[in-house]
Structure 1
Amino acid sequence: MDVMKISISFKSTFVYLICLLFVSLFIYAAVSKILDYENFRVQLAQSPLLSAFARYVAWGVPAFEILISILLLSEKWRTVGLFSAFGLMVMFTTYIYIILNFSSFVPCSCGGVLEKMTWNQHLVFNLAFIILGGIAALVQSSNFQYNLS
């Protein structure tokens, strides 16, 4: 019985720490984009994939990052937040992969410290967050199902 409590406690702590990592990343990224909104919008407008939607994406991405952060901090909505964080990171990573492999022009629309990374470093960084987010989402959803029983 004690081993089961420790296991559940470890899983909960692991998930919570991953949530804090995502919240830190998303709030930092959102604030960077909002503070340098005009530059972010212009860089998105230069993107071969997003130029037609730059105005909407420039507001939508930071808003979504903040919304996901709120979900991650809420026990009730944490599972939705983790799957949303995972999905957003998959979308960001897919975008980077497409730009790197199929575009002649590679715009930079990251802010702050992330802007200092090369695109390949950013790809690896995102893949690490995808792995962590996927594991945390699966652990959280299994805890959620277990708690419903």
Structure 2
Amino acid sequence: MKKETMYQLISGLFVFLFVYTASSKWMDIETFRWALSGSPLLKHTANWMIYALPAVEILVALLLCIRATRSLGMLSSLALMITFTLYIGYLLASRHELPCSCGGIFRDLTWRNHLIVNCILLVIAALGYRLQGQKTY
């Protein structure tokens, strides 16, 4: 597969992922607030994080949609995936039993399965970032 096609597919995947998860969080904002309020790391920031996190996800999706900002969007996607993956790793290591504050289908995953999905997405984001650095198109 051509690098350009692979890069565009990865960008599209993250646009879909971030728009989907942000929308799911906003559609059930009270559950999202409740989950963040129970988090040992996020409980003190829950009231503004319920708006900030989905807004950042939408912003990153928009960056990925604009050719001139796609590189920044891919770097931002990688940063978000690193952050989300580390957070899930922390929860698993500390044995905190919390509901997932993610939206939609991700809400039904166990934390261990969520970590696996995030690790896969993290690898894909790293590949996208690497491809954008190599682009010759």
The TM-score range, normalised by the shorter chain, is over 0.9
- The answer for the alignment partner of 2:76 in structure 1 is 84
- The answer for the alignment partner of 1:117 in structure 2 is 109
Contact 1:71 1:81 in 2 (8 A): yes
- Structure 1's consecutive aligned runs of 4 or more residues displaced over 4 angstroms after TM superposition are none
Cα RMSD for the two superposed structures: 1.3
Q: Distance in 2 between matches of 1:111 and 1:76?
A: 29
Q: Which runs of 5+ in 1 are unaligned?
A: 1-6
Residue identity matched to 1:69: A
- The answer for the alignment partner of 1:38 in structure 2 is 30
For the pair 1:74 / 2:82, whether they are aligned, the reply is: no
Alignment of 1:4-83 (within 5 A): 10-83=2-75
TM-score normalized by the length of structure 2: 0.94
Residue identity matched to 2:81: M
TM-score normalized by the length of structure 1: 0.87
Which region of structure 1 is more displaced relative to structure 2, 102-111 or 86-95? Answer: 102-111
- The answer for the alignment partner of 2:123 in structure 1 is 131
Q: Distance in 1 between matches of 2:102 and 2:123?
A: 21
